[in-house]
Copies of this chain bind each other. A is one copy, B any other.
Amino acid sequence: MTQKSLHEFGMIKRLLAPLTLGVPGAFELKDDVAQLPHSAYGQVVTCDQIIEGTHFFPDDPLDLVAKHLVRRNLSDLIAKGCRPRGALLTLAWPKAWSLPRLALFIKGLGEDLAELGDHCPLYGGDTSQTSGPLVASLTLIGEPLAASHAPILRSGAKPGDHVYVTGVIGDAYLGLEGRLGKQSVNDLKACQGFALAPLPTPLAMSAPIAHYAHASIDISDGLLADAAHLATNSRVRIELALDCIPLSSEASQWVEKSDNRVDALLNLATGGEDYQALMCVSAEQSEDFINQAQRNGTRLSKVGQCWPGQGLTISYLGQVIRLPKKMGWSVSF
């Protein structure tokens, strides 16, 4: 490695050190390990990566790329009823890239972590150069908020449970299609923002999910694919009503103008990267769940119900319709 690049890694440390928020366990990023804060119960971990050319385009703004990385991980923790407690970052950084690009990436990372108040200091990580595209991986550590002190899993849904989703679905799909020049969307700019760095479920949803959800998942593979994951793992049948899927005004208009509204809705429901939570809550507790979520200002929509049986079924205006061949993506484990 040249002196220039050694200098560069010194710079990374200097840029990243403020993100530790001064927590003692990060040792100012000057040591080889970090010590997490003590927790009375087993902590929860998740890690997801973001790869240039796979998850984002080479000319995407790097602050939004970093936010996308934070949000795809944060979304996992929130959907599991957990509060973040810290982060670890690994960067495989392209040799030819300039320091301002790096500073922009770290700016985006810092802005998103700052949104979490003092909940998510950076504890450490690793940076190396690569001759290939950027690969960034984030590990988030979280604290389960449920009385059981466990995360809310894909399993646990019961027949009779109502199925809810936070926020809106499909803007990431439309943004990506617009980006690829495949669709003309009314306000493409807004959707493109979602495609680059979709806003996840608000952090405040961790608590109602932890307190009320029997099962929960974040929608990263696609609404249908993730609902199928819940159904399979919980051994119930989930029926989703396509016409109840919450949409942004841009997505609503796009569906209205489509030749085939069902196909349009299916595209939105299988596009993935919505980073909303899909949750199963008993009929009895639904009112309390909705009230607690809405006190935090979260939009919540009932999109389906759990039944005895297995797998996913979908309906449109009360009529059962066939599942599409492709229900979404599946890459994490």
Please judge, given known A-B contacts A43-B35, A54-B130, A76-B33, whether A331 and B9 are in contact too, CB under 8 Å: yes
With A and B bound together, what is the CA distance between A88 and B332 in angstroms? 12
Is A304's CB within 8 Å of the partner chain B? Answer: no
- The reply to whether B47 and A332 contact each other, CB–CB distance below 8 Å, is no
- The reply to whether B88 and A32 contact each other, CB–CB distance below 8 Å, is no
Is A144's CB within 8 Å of the partner chain B? Answer: yes
With A and B bound together, what is the CA distance between A77 and B92 in angstroms? 22
Across the interface, which residues of B come within 8 angstroms of A76, CB to CB?
A: 32-33
- The reply to whether A6 and B80 contact each other, CB–CB distance below 8 Å, is no
Instruction: Tell me the number of copies of this protein.
Output: 2
Interface residues of A in 143-199 (CB under 8 A from B): 144, 150-151, 153-154
- The reply to whether A125 and B36 contact each other, CB–CB distance below 8 Å, is no
Please judge, given known A-B contacts A1-B331, A53-B131, A333-B13, whether A217 and B32 are in contact too, CB under 8 Å: yes
- The reply to whether B128 and A88 contact each other, CB–CB distance below 8 Å, is no
- The reply to whether B130 and A126 contact each other, CB–CB distance below 8 Å, is no
Interface residues of A in 116-132 (CB under 8 A from B): 123-132
Binding site of A, secondary structure by majority: helix, strand, loop or mixed?
mixed
Q: Which of the segments A96-104, A133-141, A250-258, A285-293 contacts the partner chain? A: A133-141
- The reply to whether A332 and B135 contact each other, CB–CB distance below 8 Å, is no
A133's closest neighbor in chain B, by CB? Answer: B132
- The reply to whether A137 and B132 contact each other, CB–CB distance below 8 Å, is no
Is A262's CB within 8 Å of the partner chain B? Answer: no
Q: What sequence of 0s and 1s flags, for each residue 206-220 of chain A, a beta carbon within 8 Å of any chain B beta carbon?
A: 000000000001100
- The reply to whether B43 and A88 contact each other, CB–CB distance below 8 Å, is no
Across the interface, which residues of B come within 8 angstroms of A154, CB to CB?
A: 30-32
With A and B bound together, what is the CA distance between A17 and B13 in angstroms? 35
With A and B bound together, what is the CA distance between A41 and B1 in angstroms? 38
- The reply to whether A45 and B124 contact each other, CB–CB distance below 8 Å, is yes
- The reply to whether A130 and B128 contact each other, CB–CB distance below 8 Å, is no
Is A16's CB within 8 Å of the partner chain B? Answer: yes
Across the interface, which residues of B come within 8 angstroms of A139, CB to CB?
A: 45, 47, 88, 139
Across the interface, which residues of B come within 8 angstroms of A105, CB to CB?
A: none
- The reply to whether A9 and B131 contact each other, CB–CB distance below 8 Å, is no
Is A44's CB within 8 Å of the partner chain B? Answer: yes
User: What are 14 A-B interface contacts by the 8 Å CB criterion?
Assistant: A9-B331, A32-B46, A32-B218, A34-B46, A35-B43, A45-B123, A47-B125, A51-B92, A51-B128, A54-B129, A92-B92, A127-B333, A132-B132, A139-B139
* Inter-chain pairs besides A27-B153, A32-B217, A131-B132, 20 sampled, C-beta below 8 Å: A13-B333, A31-B153, A32-B46, A32-B218, A36-B42, A38-B41, A39-B39, A47-B88, A47-B125, A49-B126, A51-B129, A52-B132, A53-B131, A54-B128, A54-B129, A92-B135, A126-B331, A127-B331, A132-B132, A137-B137
